């Protein structure tokens, strides 16, 4: 069964800390995505990557960066965490070709205090 | 600029009845649409999809209808079951002439509650 694994289910961090959210997929997918989910706002795209070492900004990249050193791993970095980054973070991957749906990880609930 | 909109934040139905979840989009370049279901503390899971060349796609209790002229799609669940209680997201993508990255645009989600 294909899998997208997010390293942490719940995280609590302090304002100003640097935060790393890790995501690993075992499907050899080229495309990987980071979304955040907030009530009333749905899923908003932060960053995505279509290949190793390649990255593109999504709709809300401010305050975030990403790293993709290996095909299977896509990391989201909060350079200096702030309380408005408290959210559910979802990683997803997608293979190429005619399959358009994503496979999502279980999410990381991040609370910044 | 919300290109995919789900205007009903929540919907409550009785077990056995029909649930109808609605979604509107503004980008006429979207040509493929998907519905995802999300339980609390889990990632969204794919439910059903439809291409813009069709107006209906059915999979068991789930049917998606697409009205291209109105830029509107709906998800029908018949009969509804308590286990269907979840958040439902519609999503859209531009395949033709779009990038190969497959970037989905999601709506805000609708919380469905099915009462026993």
Span A46-81, pLDDT tens digits: 999 988 989 999 999 999 999 999 999 999 999 999
Q: For residue B76, what are the β-bridge partners?
A: B20, B63
The tokens describing B95, both together, are 């395949």
Residue A66, judged by CB atoms within 10 A of its CB (0-12, 13-18, 19+), counts as buried
DSSP secondary structure letter of residue A83:
G
Bond before B79 cis per omega within 30 degrees: yes
Chain B residues inside the 8 Å CB shell of A87: none
Choice between A94 and B26, residue whose per-residue pLDDT is larger? B26
Residue given tokens 């370049």 in the structure block: B29
Contacts of A43 in chain B (CB under 8 A): 44, 89, 106, 109
Give the mean pLDDT of chain A: 92
pLDDT score at B95: 77
**Do the beta carbons of residue A86 and residue A17 sit within 8 Å?**
no
Instruction: Give B43→chain A minimum CA distance, Å.
Output: 4
Q: Which residues of A touch B (CB under 8 A)?
A: 4, 9, 31, 33, 35, 37, 40-45, 48, 50, 56, 58, 90, 92, 94, 96, 100-107, 109
**In this complex, do B32 and A100 lie within 8 Å of one another by their Cβ atoms?**
yes
- Integer Cα distance of B35 and B37 in angstroms: 7
How far is residue B68's CA from residue A32's CA, in Å, rounded to a whole number?
29
Report pLDDT for A94. 87
Are the C-beta atoms of B90 and B6 separated by less than 8 Å?
A: yes
The reported pLDDT for the residue numbered B41 is 81
Centre a 10 Å sphere on the Cβ of residue A6 and count the other Cβ atoms it contains: 19
pLDDT tens digits for B35-78?
Answer: 999 998 889 999 999 999 999 999 999 999 999 999 999 999 99
Is B49 close to A4, i.e. CB distance below 8 A? Answer: no
């Amino acid at each position: 069964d294909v899998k997208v694994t997010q390293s942490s289910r719940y995280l609590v961090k302090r304002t100003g800390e640097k935060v790393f959210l890790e995501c690993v997929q075992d499907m050899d997918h080229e495309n990987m995505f980071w979304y955040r989910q907030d009530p009333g706002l749905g899923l908003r795209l932060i960053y995505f990557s279509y290949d190793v070492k390649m990255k593109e900004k999504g709709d809300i990249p401010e305050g975030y960066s990403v790293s993709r050193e290996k095909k299977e791993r896509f990391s989201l970095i909060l350079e200096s965490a702030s309380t408005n980054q408290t959210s559910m973070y979802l990683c997803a991957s997608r293979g190429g070709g005619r399959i358009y749906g994503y496979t999502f990880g279980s999410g990381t609930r991040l609370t910044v205090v | 600029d919300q290109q995919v909109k789900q205007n009903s934040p929540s919907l409550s139905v009785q077990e056995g009845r029909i649930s109808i979840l609605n979604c509107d989009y503004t980008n006429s370049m979207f040509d493929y649409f998907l519905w995802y279901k999300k339980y609390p503390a889990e990632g969204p899971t794919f439910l059903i999809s439809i291409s813009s060349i069709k107006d209906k796609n059915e999979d068991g209790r789930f049917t998606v209808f697409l009205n291209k002229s109105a830029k509107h799609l709906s998800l029908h669940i018949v009969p509804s079951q308590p286990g269907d209680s979840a958040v439902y997201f519609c999503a859209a993508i531009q395949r033709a002439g779009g990038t190969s990255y497959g970037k989905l645009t999601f709506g805000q989600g609708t919380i469905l509650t099915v009462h026993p």
